[in-house]
Chain A
């Protein structure tokens, strides 16, 4: 079991935005989070990425309670990664962005270069290696953000609407990448989406949120 939450409540300015009971995510699976805007999908992804602390309740990761201690949070964050709906790329080249997660982990330059080149090739962005990250299109930015996340070989990849505001060609590339890293690396993936076609194609499990509550969870067979 990867994540397990019990009576997990998150409040924002006194308003309950998430209220989960009996929430489980298994390893090596692809989960699709669905629900209307404001249903709590992004909040849940931020909690799973250990970026937001729940107001109350218990969250377990890999069978251990998630601690709020700074050192523990850093260790946990280094095992999962969240790719935002509108990813932020840092100032600098595409390559500088992709190597960021490796650099903060103290990986040597030689290894960083090799790994960055590998993931840029995986997302089909190797020719943009030296390009200014802020001059990329929306689809290209998403692919670079994906490469940056994959560079650190996370156990869990969390994606907030990975294909939102992306053209069809880039949508296909992104979905192919998700499928491939789950199949080849057994990376667990939790993604929020509004597209049923993506759920049918990728998801092993679908979780439906409504007003911050899990109202439906069912197993599906990806095509």
Chain B
């Protein structure tokens, strides 16, 4: 218990002093997580909408596959992407391994099924009469889609937040594809794992606190924007 309390006290001091190493790690984490969430959202939200609003052979199988991919371990994605971007891999010549881009690729693969599945759930909950109302008022298919996405915005927002939370807290992909290089690919979670291995808990606890504060801040922001109506809609 003493170790934890001592670490906690030192962690607070480290945070208050805005330790440069700590700030570097936080910045890398935020950068890769934000970019991967943005890319996954740009792909996953339209895909989720199309799947929810289309009828095609094999739709149930696709939904089952998507739900299965939600349980995909990060180390499996790490291995898969590694096999493609390692020196002997198909894209080895691009020299992506142990770069931030490699982490982003892995994280995008990790959360695309999550964004897509949660978007499908959010859009499917919207009354089908919204679609017909938009169409009878003269909307094109794209304008109708925008109406549905607007009505499902709280659910879709929650999907994006959940995905960001998933990538900022993951360690397997960042470690395997990023390599935990100091000041370059060291993220909060990989740094925490390293500090734990070294038996140095202070930085690990400080990073843990920062991670939780960021998650809390993002959720507060989300709830502030969605307001009462959003809470009722979820």
Residues of A within 8 A of B (CB): 46, 49, 51, 70, 74, 77-78, 80-82, 84, 86-88, 90-91, 100-101, 104-105, 148-149, 152
Q: List 19 A-B contacts (CB under 8 A).
A: A49-B136, A51-B136, A77-B135, A82-B132, A84-B129, A84-B132, A87-B133, A88-B129, A88-B130, A90-B130, A91-B150, A91-B151, A100-B134, A100-B137, A100-B139, A104-B140, A105-B138, A148-B137, A152-B138
Give the distance in Å from the alpha carbon of A148 to the alpha carbon of B129 in the complex: 15
Residues from chain A with Cβ under 8 Å of B151 in the complex: 90-91
Closest Cβ of chain A to B49, distance in Å, is 17
Closest Cβ of chain A to B54, distance in Å, is 14
Give the distance in Å from the alpha carbon of A80 to the alpha carbon of B133 in the complex: 12
Please determine whether A90 and B132 come into contact, CB atoms closer than 8 angstroms: no
Please determine whether A104 and B139 come into contact, CB atoms closer than 8 angstroms: yes
Closest Cβ of chain A to B183, distance in Å, is 46
For B137, the closest partner residue in chain A by CB is A101
Residue B15 interfacial (CB < 8 Å): no
Count A-B pairs with CB separation below 8 Å.
Answer: 52
Residues from chain B with Cβ under 8 Å of A105 in the complex: 138
Given the known A-B contacts A90-B147, A90-B151, A91-B150, are A104 and B138 also in contact in the complex, defined by CB atoms under 8 Å? yes
Residue B213 interfacial (CB < 8 Å): no
Give the distance in Å from the alpha carbon of A74 to the alpha carbon of B140 in the complex: 7
Residue B64 interfacial (CB < 8 Å): no
Residues of B within 8 A of A (CB): 127, 129-130, 132-141, 143, 147, 150-151, 229
Closest Cβ of chain A to B218, distance in Å, is 23
Residues from chain B with Cβ under 8 Å of A101 in the complex: 137-138
Given the known A-B contacts A70-B141, A104-B143, are A88 and B136 also in contact in the complex, defined by CB atoms under 8 Å? no
Closest Cβ of chain A to B144, distance in Å, is 9
For B147, the closest partner residue in chain A by CB is A90
Closest A-B pairs by Cβ, 7 of them: A101-B137, A78-B138, A88-B129, A82-B136, A88-B133, A104-B139, A104-B143
Give the distance in Å from the alpha carbon of A149 to the alpha carbon of B132 in the complex: 13
Give the distance in Å from the alpha carbon of A30 to the alpha carbon of B210 in the complex: 68
Residues from chain A with Cβ under 8 Å of B138 in the complex: 74, 77-78, 81, 101, 104-105, 152
Give the distance in Å from the alpha carbon of A87 to the alpha carbon of B140 in the complex: 20
Give the distance in Å from the alpha carbon of A135 to the alpha carbon of B128 in the complex: 20
Give the most central of B133, B140, B141: most A CB within 10 Å. Answer: B133
For B233, the closest partner residue in chain A by CB is A91
Give the distance in Å from the alpha carbon of A106 to the alpha carbon of B135 in the complex: 15
Give the distance in Å from the alpha carbon of A88 to the alpha carbon of B151 in the complex: 11
Residues from chain A with Cβ under 8 Å of B139 in the complex: 100, 104
Residues from chain B with Cβ under 8 Å of A152 in the complex: 137-138
Extra contacts besides A49-B136, A82-B132 (5): CB < 8 Å: A74-B138, A82-B136, A88-B127, A100-B134, A149-B137
Residues from chain A with Cβ under 8 Å of B229 in the complex: 91
Give the distance in Å from the alpha carbon of A91 to the alpha carbon of B147 in the complex: 9
Give the distance in Å from the alpha carbon of A149 to the alpha carbon of B229 in the complex: 26
Give the most central of A80, A91, A149: most B CB within 10 Å. Answer: A91
Residues from chain B with Cβ under 8 Å of A82 in the complex: 132, 136
Please determine whether A84 and B133 come into contact, CB atoms closer than 8 angstroms: yes
Residues from chain A with Cβ under 8 Å of B127 in the complex: 88
Give the most central of B130, B136, B141: most A CB within 10 Å. Answer: B136
Give the distance in Å from the alpha carbon of A9 to the alpha carbon of B174 in the complex: 59
Give the most central of A77, A88, A100, A101: most B CB within 10 Å. Answer: A88
Please determine whether B135 and A81 come into contact, CB atoms closer than 8 angstroms: no
Please determine whether B137 and A104 come into contact, CB atoms closer than 8 angstroms: yes
Closest Cβ of chain B to A143, distance in Å, is 16
Residues from chain A with Cβ under 8 Å of B143 in the complex: 104
Given the known A-B contacts A90-B147, A91-B151, are A81 and B140 also in contact in the complex, defined by CB atoms under 8 Å? no
Residues from chain B with Cβ under 8 Å of A74 in the complex: 138, 140
Give the distance in Å from the alpha carbon of A137 to the alpha carbon of B151 in the complex: 20
Residues from chain B with Cβ under 8 Å of A87 in the complex: 133
